[in-house]
Structure 1
């Protein structure tokens, strides 16, 4: 299994843990723009 290429300038998909809002951003957003909940990078698996 190969790791995907890392591009620091690429936008990544982020999703809110509380309301499920999905956005694309270059940097990890501090909080959800809709509800203020915690955002996670969807490319990183949740354990």
Structure 2
């Protein structure tokens, strides 16, 4: 697997854990549709 260098100034794709909504944002937060937590899609789920 290839490591991806993350730039903190760059917007990333975030996906909602609950409803699956995907948004582009500079930081994670809450889902605009359902209010659940978001995850950075560039980070692996373990």
Output aligned runs, 1:1-47, within 5 Å: 2-29=2-29, 31-47=30-46
Q: Pairwise CA RMSD of aligned residues? A: 1.3
User: TM-score of the superposition, structure 2-length normalised?
Assistant: 0.83
Unmatched segments (≥5 aa) in structure 2: none
| Alpha-carbon distance in structure 1 between the residues aligned to 2:2 and 2:10 | 19
Unmatched tracts of structure 1, length 5 or more? none
How far the C-alpha of 1:37 sits from its partner, in A, is 1.0
Q: Structure 1 runs of 4+ off > 3 angstroms?
A: none
- Residues matched between the structures, number: 46
TM-score by length of structure 1 reads 0.82
